[in-house]
Amino acid sequence: MKVSKTISTKFGLILSSLIYVAGILMLSAFTQGYMKESKIVSVNGTTTEILCALGLEPALVGVDVASTYPASVEKLPKVGHNRNISAEGIVALSPDLIVGTANDLKAQTIEQLNTANVKTKLFKQEYSVEGTKSLIRQVATEFKKEAKGEEIIRQLDADIAGLNKPKTKKKVLFIYARGAGTMMVAGKGTPVQKMIELAGGENAVNDFNDYKPLTAEALVAADPDVLLLFDSGLKSLNGIDGILKIQGVTETKAGKNKKIVEMDGQLLTGFGPRLGKALKELSSKIH
């Protein structure tokens, strides 16, 4: 009888232990990796970077064309540019979740995705250091990766701490170019303006918001010390020799000194985990 009770007690303890362990594993799977089995489409280059930094790249089944980092995401199917993404292209990938920022999808597209039973999660993004940290935390919290998110933020802080701002500010004019026929300059309220100022420079034009077409008169009036372009934009103008042929450029300090710099577009304007590295590169190039 005592032997039977002992066996029964041991069996009960073993069973309880197994149930406890199973419960812990289930909770862990839910709280730390509940999206591992899901398929995600990212419609924003910065959210793509954050997802990958959090270790969620294997869940990605599609990205927008601005998602260029890390290089491994280049092989994923593209769903278009975030300004003209269609619901059909996304739905064709059979995702469980669409991730991006608040301005990435049109209301009609979101409605179409909801009708197709595809969940969307669009995060708030502000173009600042604190805004970048907030975005990282938002995404990390959504995917139960808070500890990893804080690790990314600590690295971001370390990168920014190493940034040395010069005493004299250079006037920087950003030109968005897609060939000589399509050139715009960045005014106030743009991510590029924020980056220039964070890197210790001064945006060359501040009398308008967003972007305006480049004119020779405005270029000469701004008289920037530095011209800044995306590397793809400078390439579309056939390099430095090509941009020097643009009317008005050689009449500016930047043109006379051939002070024309380029940066990767996503790195320059992404405001993601690489923000500190981007600021260091920009500051070094403009000063």
Beta-carbon count within 10 A of 82 CB? 20
Helix (H, G, I), strand (E, B) or coil at 66: coil
- Does an H or E element contain 8, and which? helix 2-33
Q: Are strands 60-63 and 260-263 parallel, antiparallel or unpaired?
A: unpaired
252, 258, 259, 261 alpha-carbon torsion, rounded to 10°: 120
Beta-carbon count within 10 A of 138 CB? 17
Residue 236 CA to residue 134 CA, distance in Å, equals 35
| Per-residue pLDDT at 85 | 92
| Per-residue pLDDT at 10 | 52
Averaged over successive runs of 10 residues, the pLDDT of the chain (287 residues) comes to: 51 52 44 60 98 98 97 96 88 97 94 95 97 98 98 97 88 96 95 97 95 95 97 97 96 98 98 98 95
Verify cis geometry, omega within 30 degrees of 0, for the bond prior to 224: no
| Per-residue pLDDT at 34 | 45
**263: Cα within 13 Å, side-chain hemisphere:** 24
Q: Determine the residue type at 146.
A: E
CATH topology of domain 40-161: Rossmann fold (3.40.50)
| Per-residue pLDDT at 286 | 94
pTM of this structure: 0.86
- Return the axis-axis angle of helices 275-286 and 191-198, rounded to nearest 10°: 70
| Per-residue pLDDT at 17 | 52
Beta-carbon count within 10 A of 33 CB? 16
CATH superfamily entry for domain 171-286: Nitrogenase molybdenum iron protein domain (3.40.50.1980)
